[in-house]
Structure 1
């Protein structure tokens, strides 16, 4: 005579839903953090920046980008980004033997991916709306040297973690007028230090990012968001003042840009220790730096 089997126990529907939700959240976290592996295709040619340099010809002298033209000739940009799947300092350190090689690679990679994402959405993407919601900075991942990296992972897990240089924040193009602007040339290891200094001068010299009015200094919100990174670069460390970093990139004179703010102006307004000024952080202008949009303005 067969012994009756014990009835099967079923998990409550609520428990099943919780398990599914946990798995979905775990997958989303891995996606955002760039912890999902990617296939590494065999490279047909050595790594180079030639195609990316061609794509940057559509960047105007003032930092605006002719996205329409870049989209019509997007093959060069796409070819460069396709090559990133095979090469990175993480999986091919032999190709990027110095810290300058590695940092130049990651900066160029970040900026190229931002450009591709804008081109993909152009002309409907007029502004990066509410980036903290993830539609732009962690909503998409690319295969990069055996990893699938979002823009968020590139900035926070790679650049901020591996390179203690706050100038990177002034060099990362985020498709916004109130942010770092492209200058039409890619970062090159042999000139990287001077290029980063120039990116700092370009950012600080833009009145959307730094503006002095009497005893008040208006600063881009980036200086508040990445304050700890900027202070860590100062000799005084966290006991310093973020205006010391700003001061270093202000010009001595305004020969090239009449009416600009200079180091002497900041000294007079804030005192020798730069601690007498009131700092007001400005909201970022997320309008797309589109050359066509600017041309259409009256």
Structure 2
């Protein structure tokens, strides 16, 4: 009996690992229409200019978000490369897919979900899977097995919406292949320009913990490679002036504080603000 239980536990563990990594197959329904982002673009109308999301309104009008996510079961760059012929097509698809799935999961839990850390052990990102182009993918699999493995672009970390104020924020527009490079740069500027993510105080630079968690990815994108300094990546997205955001930190500020090689500053990593970016003022729960 003990041996049988051990075998069952081992199989359950193996199945769980396949689930988290998105290695289980899914059916591929025949599409009724060509793939497009029209419904997802409609859902993003509930994103405010400051990046907060009106989750209540999105939930009341969730048909468009659900319709887009339903379409993912039939199309992905893995099973339909003809629909996504360029790297930009593929990357835009995966970024939009990840962000849409996060939105749907928050809407499903709203208003009781107050933070994506509420489900135990980070289950928000690995507990649920969706059929995507013949695969059952979790958010964990999308980030680590697809995006990080297939695209050597650390800007994706600054574009993945994880429903936290101290993270990438939505801007109300979906990623489009023809504008993807400029959109990723804008996502970088938006992230670095938020003082919850980057803040300079004398000779100390306070950085979001994301820069520590994904340090190797950021360094790999620098000309110096892993021998570089993550502040070089931050510097690239700081503004030259503060005309649009009075009181912000600029490239010149970082140069003066840290020296031309950006090696004289101390780096301190800040804990992430996991507060849900909810546009509604929510009363405290009893």
Same fold flag (TM > 0.5): yes
Between 14-23 and 218-227, the greater mean CA deviation after superposition: 14-23
1:179 deviates by: 0.2
SS in 2 for 1:43: coil
* Structure-2 separation of matches of 1:274 and 1:297: 45
1:130 deviates by: 6.2
Between 286-295 and 127-136, the greater mean CA deviation after superposition: 127-136
Residue-by-residue CA offset, 1:252-280 (whole Å, 9 max, x unaligned): 00000000000000001100000110100
1:131 deviates by: 7.0
1:295 deviates by: 10
* Structure-2 separation of matches of 1:258 and 1:88: 42
Is 1:121 the counterpart of 2:109? The answer is: yes
CA 1:19–1:77: 2 relative to 1, 3 Å: same
Residue-by-residue CA offset, 1:3-38 (whole Å, 9 max, x unaligned): xxxxxxxxxx22111111100000000000000000
Decide whether the 8 Å contact of 1:35 with 1:148 is kept in 2: yes
CA 1:250–1:296: 2 relative to 1, 3 Å: farther
Could you tell me which runs of 5 or more consecutive residues in structure 2 were left unpaired when the two chains were aligned: none
Match in the other structure for 2:119: 131
1:296 deviates by: 10
1:294 deviates by: 7.5
Residue-by-residue CA offset, 1:26-82 (whole Å, 9 max, x unaligned): 000000000000000000000000000000000000000000000000000000000
SS in 1 for 2:281: helix
* Structure-1 separation of matches of 2:43 and 2:95: 15
1:134 deviates by: 3.4
RMSD in angstroms over aligned alpha carbons? 1.9
1:293 deviates by: 2.8
Decide whether the 8 Å contact of 1:38 with 1:146 is kept in 2: yes
Decide whether the 8 Å contact of 1:108 with 1:187 is kept in 2: yes
Is 1:74 the counterpart of 2:74? The answer is: no
Residue-by-residue CA offset, 1:142-190 (whole Å, 9 max, x unaligned): 0000000000000000000000000000000000000000000000000
Q: Name the larger-Rg structure.
A: 1
* Structure-2 separation of matches of 1:78 and 1:282: 35
Decide whether the 8 Å contact of 1:131 with 1:137 is kept in 2: no
CA 1:153–1:73: 2 relative to 1, 3 Å: same
Match in the other structure for 2:201: 213
SS in 1 for 2:78: coil
Match in the other structure for 1:37: 25
Residue-by-residue CA offset, 1:217-248 (whole Å, 9 max, x unaligned): 00000000000000000000000000000000
Decide whether the 8 Å contact of 1:179 with 1:209 is kept in 2: yes
1:128 deviates by: 1.4
